[in-house]
Amino acid sequence: MDTPQHAAVDRRASVDSFELDSYLANYVPLSNFPTPPPATSSFPPLRAAVAEDAVTSQAQDFGGPAIYMASLVPSKASLHGPSIALIQEFLARAQVPDEVIGLAACVLDSLSWRFVREWRQACSQSSSSAETWHNGGPGGTGAVGAEVIVLSALALAETYLSDEPRSSRWWSREVSSLSFSAKQINTTNRCILVDIDYGLHDFTAEMIDEMLWDMRRAERMLEKTGATTDNSLRSDKLAVTSLSLDCSATLVHGLLTPEPSPPLSQLQRSLCS
């Protein structure tokens, strides 16, 4: 049996002298300085929040995305459906890139039926007597508003895609105008991440592009009919909400469609006459 000294000699001898010389010739010691940031970033720079006087005029540009994202909010998340007008204001104030909006829509679409139950429990545990959860729908009862789910999805998407993410306090103050606090946004963020198993990396570029295409289609339909977004939307996926439009279009699954066909009895009467 070889002694430890002989074994060490054999291991050193197994290294080819030419390879060792080549390694030593090209060896560069590690730097003591941290890795510098990249010179350029492929992600577009973040834009500052829009002034409040311009929010109303720019909010109409986000009618399609607001309607579509409101339809993706899980049903029974609150007593009232999410306010489309409030979501439009969120998008107008944040001024995030389209990729962030598309990823946020993917996150909303992937929420499971367990999310609402876990989210409600987290809301009740984190709420206090000094803090009342905002309800964006009309006739609020103090229950949490479903709009915070859309707001948190936007915040998570922007944090994941941007090298310079903004804090929950910024989303609370600048985007929601203190409709929701940073604590409420953080609570909703945790519930969303747990529900999707922290799988923000699972959403591919093709999935984001598909969501953006659906939003643009909803926006084109909105412009074609000359409709204005309703104040709130029932997020029940099976419900059909009628809009007071001149063309009598209806909103189904967040998309404007032609008015439904008349009843069979009405058709029969018209044929007989």
pTM score of the predicted model: 0.65
Task: Give the dihedral of Cα atoms 74, 75, 79, 81; nearest 10 deg.
Answer: 80
What amino acid is encoded at 161 in this protein? L
Domain map of the chain by residue range?
52-226
DSSP conformation class of 257:
E
- Average pLDDT of the chain to the nearest whole number: 75
How is residue 60 annotated by DSSP?
A: G
CA-based end-to-end distance of the chain: 111
| Burial class of 119 by CB neighbour count within 10 A (0 to 12, 13 to 18, 19+) | buried
Residue-wise pLDDT for 176-228, tens only, equals 999 999 999 999 999 999 999 999 999 999 999 999 999 988 888 877 776 55
Whether CATH 1.10.472 fits 52-226 = yes
Torsion angles phi and psi, residue 80, rounded to 5:
-115, 150
Residue 245 has pLDDT above 50, yes or no: no
| Residue 129: band (very low, low, confident or very high) from pLDDT cuts 50, 70, 90 | very low
With residue 104 as reference, give the H or E element that holds it: helix 98-110
Secondary structure class of 145 (helix, strand, coil): coil
Do residues 123 and 115 make contact, with C-beta atoms less than 8 angstroms apart? no
Residue 154 in this model has a pLDDT that exceeds 90:
yes
46 close to 197: Cβ distance less than 8 angstroms: no
Amino acid present at 38: P
In sequence order, which residues have a C-beta less than 8 Å from that of residue 19 and are 6 or more positions away? none
Of the candidates 98, 72, 67, the residue with the CA atom closest to the CA atom of residue 256: 67
pLDDT score of 71: 92
